[in-house]
Structures are given as C-alpha cells and as structure tokens.
Chains A and B, each alone.
Chain A
Amino acid sequence: MPARRAASDRSHATDPAIVRWALIGVALAFLALFLVLPLFLVFAKAFEGGVSTWLAAVTDPMARAALRLTLLITAIVLPINVVYGVAAAWAIARFRFRGRNLLVTLIDLPFSVSPVVSGMVFVLLFGASGWLGPLLDERGIQIVFAVPGIVLATLFVTSPFVVRELIPSMEAHGVAEEEAALTLGASGWRTFFTISLPKVRWALLYGVVLCTARVLGEFGAVSVVSGHIRGRTTTVPLHVEMLYNEYQFTAAFAVASVLTVLGLVTLVLKYFIERRAAF
C-alpha cells in the first residue's frame, strides 16, 4: 500500500467547491447506507435489551460451546495454513520451474469457488453416500456433520491467504542474504529461521490476520458440512444464524456483536501492519 500523502499534497484537487461537496455527499451517503449503518445497527440491536440481556446471550452455554468450537478450529487451521503457506511461497518465490504459473493459479483456486461448493466436495467425499462414506462408517469415523469436516472445509476456503501475502514479499526481498549465509556455512534450516523467515514476518502476520478473520467468520462452507448440531457442530456464525432463524434477534445480534468487534480488531491490525509497509 502506498504511503499516505499529507493533505497538502492534495493541492491538485482544484475541483470547484460545489463539485467537491456534492461528491463527498454522495460518497458519504453510499458508505453510510452500505457500511456505517449496518455496523451501528449490529451494536444497537445487540444492546436493545440492555447489558444484562447481551451478557446472557453471549455467556449462554450454547454460545460458549460455539465459541469454543470456533477457537478450536482456528487453533487447528492457522498452523496448517502457515506451514503450507511458507512451503508453497518458498517453492514459488525462490525457484523457477515448469508449471509454476499453473501452481500459482491453483493456489488461488479456492477463492473462485463458491464457499457452498467448497463444503459440498467434502460431503461428496466423506458423506454417508460419498466415496469414502461406507469405509469410514464401518470404522465408526465421522467426518461430515462433525468437527473434522468443519476443519477440512475451513482449510479449503482459507488456504490461499498466507501464501498470497508471502509470495510477493519473498520475491521483493531477494536471496542475497541467504546465499551469503549459506556460503559462510550456515545450514539450510538455520538460514531459513534466522534470515528468510524474519524478513517476511510482516507479510506472514498480515496473511495470518486475514486468514483468522476468515476462519472466525466462514459461513457457507461450514454450514454445508456442519449439520447444525447445536452445541456440537455449530461455530459462532452458525449459532448467530440459528438464533436469527428462531426469531431471537437480540441474542443473534449480541453474539454477532462479538464477531463484529473481532472484525474491527482485524481492521485495526491490518492498518498497523500496512503502516509498517516494510514488506
């Protein structure tokens, strides 16, 4: 992201005042209708019944179970995505090989597939009438409509996040320092952990932040594989959906407000990491 210019650099904005204010008005109205009002509404509805009602909704056993599940999924998915992201970015950014462009395209593939389809493929593989369904059934292993299915669907949907941030960062940093370390006798792993990884730490953190936001909020893919078993396979977004569909609007918005705060935290983190712009 380009460094922000100071206001004085905007001197070429010589539009007449009336045009300026009209455009600002249009932009503000548009952002109000689509971003600001929905954001306010979440908190207004969440606290409609007062703080005690809000507290009751977010500390409800089912809400806590949903939060625990979401945190569990996050704890499993993030490390896997970091390992995959670093490995893939290393191969792609550091080496030239046949099929490299194809690989870059394939990495982005989950972004162009509907979340619903991302969940569906695991139902087709592991569901009762799926390819491996009977095999798993015999052994009493359940993947779909259980936690493993939610993990798989989330992994699928979030796999591009870390790689995408790491590739440009690794490419920008070059390999001179690594080559120097290797010539001086450092081992491959030592070079990697003391030079390569620290150089891309901001890009890695950025990818992890974006990935976390998506893990916490993923809905479509998880919804297909979850089976909506309350207290067992409902993540926080699914819990919000169930409350809302049961017309428990205040409770739905109360739980939604927690997710919204996490979303806002993401934006703040994103802002600060972008300002470090060193990557």
Chain B
Amino acid sequence: MAGRRHVLPGFGLGLGITLTYMGLLILIPLSTIPLKTATMGWDRFFEVVTSPRALAAYRLSFGAAFAAAALNAVFGLVVAWVLERYSFPGRRLLDGLVDLPFALPTAVAGIALTTLYSGSGWVGRLLEPAGVKIAYTGLGVVVALTFVGLPFVVRSIQPVLASLGGDLEAAAASLGANRWTIFRRVLLPRLVPAMLAGCTLAFARGLGEYGSVIFIAGNLPLKTEIVPLLIVIRLEEFDYPAATAIALVFLLMSFTALLAINLLSWRRSRAIGHA
C-alpha cells in the first residue's frame, strides 16, 4: 500500500535477502539458457531444435505426460472418491500412502517400477504373454509419470469432494434423480476444475521428470528418449548450445501448454459460476 508507513519492521531486510538470493541462485543462472542459445546462429538453432531426434523427444515427453495425466484423472478420481466416501479396512493407511511419490526419491521409484514391469518382474511377467511390454517402451514412461503425478490429482480432488457434503445430493435425490444422474449432473461439474488443476500440476511435473523415467524408458533415440534425457546427452557431449536450445524450446512449449490449460480451466470455472 503506497504511502502507508509499515508498523512492522524487517521489510527491507526480508525483501533484500529474498531478492539477492533469488537473483544470484535462480535468475542469473536461468539467464544463461537464452544467452547461451543466442551464441548459436539461427540456422544451427533451427537444425538442432527441429532435428528428428528432438522432435521425437518432444512428442514422447508431451504424449506420455498427457497420457499419464489422463490416466490419473480417471483413476485419481476413483481413488479420491473411495478414500473420501467409503469406509474399508486400511483406508487411512492408503490415504497416507498416496503421498509416497512426493517422499520417495525418484531414482528409487525408477528402479522399483522398472523391476516390477520388466519381462521378468511381478507384473511384467503377467503381461508379457499377452504381448504387452511396458518396461523399455513408451508405456514405461507413462507408468513412471503416472506414479509421479498421482498425488497431485488425488490431493486436488479430495478437499472438493469432502466439501460437497450430502446436501446437494439429498436435494437432487429428493427431486427424483438417480445416483448416476446425480454424479454426472451435480457432482462431476463441481469436481472437474479440481481435476483439471491436479492434472495440470501432474502434467507439468511429468514434462520435466527425469529420475523415475530414465530407468524404465529404454532411452532409445527417436523411440523412447525423453527431452530431459536428450538435454543431458547433449551436455555430456559438451554441446552446450544444443542443450540450451532444446531446453529453451521445451520450456517455451511447456509454458504455452500450461497457459492454455489454465485458460481452459478458468473459462470452465466461469461457466460453472454462471450456471
């Protein structure tokens, strides 16, 4: 509030520490990405960011992150519903376990999922005869990103589900709606914004995810290579401009996608507000 004298002390000190630290640790380092990219000419830039290998990596990263978010939307809703509405043995324990992907190091998740879903793993062994291969394919990337994104979606839906209470449903039921109609017409429209918000977080996290994916992905160029891995490979080849160019384009694409989702959910929640 301009003009108002602050009663509390410490504004200058707090803001000073914040800006200095953030500038040195985050902003200056991040500025190296566009600046390093600028050292390469346009031609080379286009060649790098539109190379078949980079394009395949963008496709896989966005496709798998989207598929995982969609999977989490469906099953995350079921999990949130069951945890919020039903009583069954072990419910509290499972509820706590939903946060596991936040707490488990991604490398540990990566090796565990890979071993579980590989051809000789507990689950992979059952799927192999049916011709379904998960580890070392694009499906493996989806599995890892589903694991990583799960808590974002469930934890976004749960509070909304809890806040809905029984009044709305009781009212709808008294007006003659059956359970399915109540779910579809009364509950779902109120859950969709939270689902979208959770999926957006999961999607954003999935795009950049590295540790849990590289073990299960197989990492074949053009096939199962995610963008973060391609960046790492370019760095290891000391081709810094190529690494930053790919990173820059990837960041811009991610921000555009997230902005689009946010606009969509903003319009949706407005639509519900007017209903």
Contacts and interface: CB of A to CB of B under 8 A. Distances in A.
Contacts of B208: 112-117, 220
A224 B244 CA distance: 13
A159 to B, nearest CB: 7
A1 B158 CA distance: 10
A13 interface: yes
A34 B108 contact: no
Contacts of B109: 38
A240 B25 contact: no
A86 B111 CA distance: 36
A259 B111 CA distance: 13
Interface stretch (A51-59, A174-182, A200-208): A174-182
Nearest to B173: A14
Nearest to A7: B87
Nearest to A240: B107
Given A15-B179, A87-B13, A113-B30, A249 B231 contact: no
Contact of B86 (A16, A20, A88): A20
A180 to B, nearest CB: 11
Interface string B28-63: 111011001000000000000000000000000000
A86 B143 CA distance: 37
B166 A11 contact: yes
B128 interface: no
A175 B27 CA distance: 31
Nearest to B211: A219
The secondary-structure label for the interface of chain A is helix
B246 to A, nearest CB: 10
B266 interface: no
A114 B228 contact: yes
Interface string B227-245: 1110110010010100110
Given A117-B208, A219-B106, A271-B96, A112 B254 contact: yes
Contacts of B78: 23, 26-27, 30
A5 to B, nearest CB: 7
A97 to B, nearest CB: 7
A145 B26 CA distance: 19
A31 B81 CA distance: 13
A179 B8 CA distance: 7
A140 interface: no
Interface centre among B18, B86, B106 (most CB of A within 10 A): B18
Contact of B107 (A20, A219, A224, A271): A219
A41 B112 contact: yes
A84 B14 CA distance: 8
A22 B32 CA distance: 53
A124 B100 contact: no
Given A31-B79, A120-B243, A179-B8, A41 B115 contact: yes
The secondary-structure label for the interface of chain B is helix
Interface residues of A, number: 102
Interface string B7-33: 111110111011001100111111011
B11 A252 contact: no
B116 interface: yes
A123 B231 CA distance: 12
Nearest to B33: A121
B122 A37 contact: yes
A270 interface: yes
Interface in A171-229: 175, 178-179, 182, 188, 192, 210, 213, 216-220, 223-224
Contacts of B28: 125
Contacts of A121: 29-30, 32-33
B36 to A, nearest CB: 6
B150 interface: yes
B123 interface: yes
Contacts of B243: 120
A270 B86 CA distance: 23
| Nearest 10 Cβ contacts at the A-B interface | A217-B105, A12-B166, A114-B208, A219-B211, A91-B14, A220-B210, A188-B9, A121-B29, A87-B17, A38-B112
17 contacts: A12-B170, A27-B79, A35-B101, A42-B108, A42-B112, A87-B15, A88-B22, A95-B11, A97-B15, A115-B228, A120-B231, A175-B7, A175-B8, A188-B8, A218-B105, A240-B108, A263-B104
Given A27-B79, A116-B231, A159-B26, 4 more contacts: A36-B97, A90-B14, A103-B18, A109-B26
Interface of B: 1-2, 6-11, 13-15, 17-18, 21-22, 25-30, 32-33, 36, 75, 78-79, 81-83, 85-88, 94, 96-109, 111-113, 115-116, 121-123, 143, 146-147, 150, 159, 162-163, 165-166, 169-170, 179, 204, 207-211, 215, 227-229, 231-232, 235, 238, 240, 243-244, 247, 250-251, 254-255, 258
